[in-house]
Structure 1
Amino acid sequence: MKEIFSIGEFSELFHVDVQTLRYYDSIGLLVPSSRDPKTGYRHYRFDQVYQLSTIRYLRRLGYSLKQIHDYLDSRSLGNTMGYLRQQSEALKNQWNELYTIDLAIRRKLEFIEGQVAKLDVSSISIKTFAERQYLDIGSEETLYGSESFYLYPTLVFYVGMNKHFGAYLFNYKDDDEQEAGRFSTTPACIKAGRFLCGYHQGAYESIPTSFERIRQAGKGLCLSPHYMNFNIIDQFVERDSKNFVTEIQIAIWD
């Protein structure tokens, strides 16, 4: 194989844009081994590919060009070993973070798929639930700043017409330690018990009509004055609010 390459050959052989190589030269990150004094054409040695590979690898890891420059200038056995340990720890933390996010997304998918599969928006029934966990998000003013709002099914508590939001931890168990590590607070609990359950289809503004319809169907039961809403089909999965589906649950007091 050739030992010396023009910038075009080096670019094509190692799949790097010519403009990128020129920029790396301008900031002293990857300087050509020689330059034609008459034409100014850049020439690279084959062994410069090792430095180029290091640059590309570090860019993939999110390092800035300045950080890469500093690393290349300070290479030694001790510095490199320390760097590799640091990178291993950072990648492990990143993997754990991505894993727990994926776990939350899969919970949301499982919740939606399970609910949609048995959905009958006209039905009203009594259901018995074991204790359920959720993350307390707070009022509507704080809702959109919470990462959990986007990752988990949304839970809305109505006290009168005041709303309080939570992120429903569908099928969550207390020993799910890896996921629990991302929570800033301990999950709260919905007490086990029986609930009168029905559905609202449509925009959230009209949900009070469904509250009244479901409560009327439960005449004779001792019902809580409050409501819990579990968003099944919402703005995250459906554009048209006419197709939103919310399960409404009212606790039955024994």
Structure 2
Amino acid sequence: MAPFDLETTSPNPEEARIVEAYHGYVGGGSDPVDRPPLLVDPGVEVPAEATAIHGYTTEHLREHGMPAEEAIPRIAGAVIAAWNEGIPLVAHNARFDLTVLDRELVRYGQPPLIKWAAGEYGPVIDTLVLSKRLDRWRRRVSPDQGAHALKTCAQVFGIPWRDEDAHGARYDALIAARIAWRMGAIAHMPAEQRPRIQSGRQDERHLFDELATDLPTLFASQRRWAAEQAASYQEWLRSPKAGEKRNADAVISGAWPVEPASAQETQQTAQGAVA
């Protein structure tokens, strides 16, 4: 597997700039490849709320980060190298990270990620999509910790977690890989030996069967599940059950693993780089 994670300036992938990236290799019977995370000078001010999450200030990144126009193609090249070998990229909420990378490529005058990938994205294992598939009704742990947050998934699947190390690209990427490995290990157990992780009343350990398959099938399944999850969330947002969050006109995209950009958005992103 190729663990992958980005730290950015914003939770909005259309405007987020990369400040740190990690890409490595684990498993498969080979020695792990554990590169140092790549620090990136995003060329813009880092908002205080982003610094509060990952710890990187504008000044630190200007001094220690690689200029974004050099770093972004290097990050994309690492992703494509894994895909060319048929190695799955592993990330928690891969749609965010890969969409950010796609927008950054265009922002700096590079072809979009789909062209780097020769028209077809390579295999991806998204532990967020898988978690929602395996335990749809899991509740939030607390107001600050979501039902399918990386920390929650680590706790559910018995992966040690250290708050002080979280929100670093290397740490988060490797935790996602460990969660993915644990999911796969459970999927290959006899059904009656699998732990019951689901929060619902029914025994849904059979859902792990869907993970015990080849990479192309799993990749296609995640595309379908991501679309179904988005449609379900959209339906909830439009319903009275959403309470104060209700939005009768809510539209949630089900695109995965990259949110496509409209022609206008692509043009605006490119213009932003010039500005």
Shorter-chain TM-score tier? under 0.3
> Quick check: which one's helix share is greater?
2
TM-score, structure 2 as length reference: 0.19
> Quick check: which one's strand share is greater?
1
TM-score, structure 1 as length reference: 0.20
Higher RCO, 1 or 2 (CA under 8 Å, sep at least 6)?
A: 2
